């Protein structure tokens, strides 16, 4: 709602004349709920949804913003990151929990920001035992 309100205020448009229908807003929120895109991506694409008339699905497809949640694909990236960061893996196993954030960041970087962070956290914790 904050994004919609901001766009309405910036354009001086009344809410009743919003170019974004409730259905289009719901479809954007469903993409977040389903894990197709992150909330951050939803916020980033909303101005384009508002101004272009395109659906969230169209913009996500055009820009290749679909979040990677496939465990097999993520496991491969995680394996590569763990192999390249043995020092941090050892630190984590010694009890330095904050290293997990670093490792998540490295996975996100390796995936071009497309990895599902919640899934990455879950898989990293499982791999690191």
Closest listed residue to residue 107, CA positions, set 99, 90, 96: 99
Rounded to whole angstroms, the Cα distance separating 41 from 35 reads 11
For tokens 């979040």, what's the residue? 67
* Ramachandran region, residue 51 (left: φ > 0; alpha: ψ -120 to 50; beta: rest): alpha
Q: Is the pTM of this model over 0.85?
A: no
User: Is CATH 3.40.50.300 the right assignment for the domain spanning 71-128?
Assistant: no
Q: Are 55 and 27 in contact (CB under 8 A)?
A: yes
Rg over CA atoms, the chain: 18
pLDDT tens, per residue, the chain with 129 residues: 889 999 999 999 998 899 999 999 999 999 999 888 988 889 999 999 999 989 999 999 999 888 888 899 999 999 999 999 999 999 999 999 999 999 999 999 999 888 988 899 999 999 998
Domain boundaries along the sequence of the chain? 2-63, 71-128
Using CA atoms, how far apart are residues 54 and 49, in angstroms rounded to an integer? 6
């Amino acid at each position: 709602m904050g994004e919609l309100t901001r766009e309405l205020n910036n354009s001086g448009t009344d809410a009743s004349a919003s170019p974004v229908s409730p259905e289009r807003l719901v479809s954007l929120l469903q993409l977040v709920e389903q894990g197709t895109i992150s909330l951050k991506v939803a916020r980033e694409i909303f101005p384009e949804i508002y101004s272009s008339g395109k659906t969230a699905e169209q913009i996500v497809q055009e820009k290749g913003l679909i979040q990677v949640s496939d465990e097999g694909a993520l496991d491969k990236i995680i394996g590569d990151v763990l192999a390249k960061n043995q020092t941090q893996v050892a630190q984590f196993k010694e009890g330095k929990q904050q290293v997990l954030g670093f490792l998540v960041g490295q996975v996100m970087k390796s995936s071009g920001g497309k990895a599902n962070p919640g899934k990455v956290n879950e898989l990293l914790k499982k791999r690191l035992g």
